Amino acid sequence: MKQVTCILIGAGLRGGYVYSQYALDHPNEFKVVAVAEPDPDRREAFSKKHNIPQGMQFESYKEILKRDKIADCAMICTQDRMHYEPVVMALEKGYHVLCEKPMSPDKEEIIKMGMMAKQYDRILSVCHVLRYSPFFSKIKSLLDEKKIGQLMTIQHIEEVGYWHHAHSFVRGNWRNEKESSPMILQKCCHDMDILLWLADSSCNKINSFGRLTYFSEENAPEGAPEYCMDGCNQRDECPFYAPRFYLEHSKAVEDGLVYAVTDYADSEHILDALKKGPYGRCVFHSDNTVVDHQTVEIEFENQVTASFLMTAFTNQCARRIRLMGTKGEIKGDMEAGIIEVTEFVSGTKEIIKLYTPTKGHSGSDMSMMKDFVRMVGEGKKGKTNADISVESHLMALAAEESRVNEVVVNFKQYTSPNAE
């Protein structure tokens, strides 16, 4: 396979550190030849790491996409509401596109991106990385082999983790749906995609409940300041006290969360950034609007039913699933890498233990990148496509429609061209 070349638009955590790492690990397969990033320090640091010359460094995606096509593909890793225009421009220029999820919080933009990929006969791959995990890949193969007979019911839970929710969805970039997306789309479109894949059928009806209950002003302890470092009298009891988390919690460095706070992960820079920066805010005095717990009930066209639960109030950041069929059941813990298969007739239980890396969505990130590079470089068919991603995104938006308006949503009606 020839080396696949790429332009990167948005050199933040996902684009600049995660997906682009594939180019450093596999330089003969993949190379980033240009970058567009508005932050000059971040742009310079990325360019230095990937040996990108000055003439191929751009402040704006418009600058790079106005030029003639200079690579095989484009990675679009901007914020949620900044995907649509660069994706459209890249497809029009003839680039294959890898787009960070979610595609967009706007229903019409999602549909149009899928249509344009078809129109220009280009790959539009969305970063639904869980399809590439050893865990969900194994579960899918067990279902395809009819290990539990006909699938009837799925229970799936996403444990966001109290610390991850506070970092990303109370203090971070995805805290306010007017600036980013609803929680069910931003965080859980992964899970909608997995349920769609495992059920192996289109959605028929969807219903959802959820609220922002805890992380609000009315739950602030008496005397709690706007910023943690302004003398909070709850610092020893509060699990969300920012300096303790960013300086002491293993996940702060391990998962790269400190690099959202500051580009320099030493205590001096971290504490300075927390004094008046967004990640130093009290979790009860932020401008967050996304829910902190939500459930979704789904009926698929093949009559499989699924129940999904997302909650901030867990210690782990984890996913657990149970699948019930006519001849047996499957239980799984993604982070532990354990799948248990029980057969009804024999009563036997098979325990499957998988190797699951602790980073990169249990190894999914690099597997997804490998698949995308093969699709572009060799013309191979991937595990997903634009049509599937459009459907799973619309499932998430339909769930939010249900939650907000307290109605059961008919999915065909919701996605029809004449739907309001």
pTM exceeds 0.75: yes
Secondary-structure percent of the chain, ordered helix, strand, coil, rounded to 5:
40, 20, 40
CA–CA distance, 243 with 9 (Å, rounded to integer): 32
CA distances from 335 to 86, 158, 367 (A): 34, 11, 17
DSSP, residue by residue, 48-109: HHHT--GGGEES-HHHHHHSPP-SSEEEE-S-GGGSHHHHHHHHHHT-EEEEPSPS-S-HHH
Cβ atoms of 6 and 31 closer than 8 Å: yes
Cβ atoms of 347 and 319 closer than 8 Å: no
Cβ atoms of 242 and 272 closer than 8 Å: no
Report all structural domains of the chain as residue ranges with CATH numbers, in order of start. 4-126 (3.40.50.720), 130-215+289-361+386-415 (3.30.360.10), 236-280 (no CATH)
CA distances from 198 to 60, 323, 335 (A): 39, 9, 18
Burial (CB count within 10 angstroms: exposed 0-12, middle 13-18, buried 19+), residue 355: exposed
Digitized pLDDT (tens) for each residue of the chain, 420 residues in all: 889 999 999 998 889 989 999 999 999 999 999 999 999 999 999 999 999 999 999 999 999 999 999 999 999 999 889 999 999 999 999 999 999 999 999 999 999 999 999 999 999 999 999 999 999 999 999 999 999 999 999 999 999 999 999 999 999 999 999 999 999 999 999 999 999 999 999 999 999 999 999 999 999 999 999 999 999 999 999 999 999 999 999 888 888 889 889 978 889 999 999 999 999 999 999 999 999 999 999 999 999 999 999 999 999 999 999 999 999 999 999 999 999 999 999 999 999 999 876 665 666 899 999 999 999 999 988 888 899 999 999 999 999 999 999 999 999 999 987 665
Instruction: Mention every residue, 6+ apart, whose C-beta is less than 8 A from residue 32.
Output: 5, 6, 7, 8, 20, 23, 50, 52, 75
Token digits for 28? 């003969």
Burial (CB count within 10 angstroms: exposed 0-12, middle 13-18, buried 19+), residue 286: buried
- Write down how long the chain is: 420
CA–CA distance, 313 with 296 (Å, rounded to integer): 17
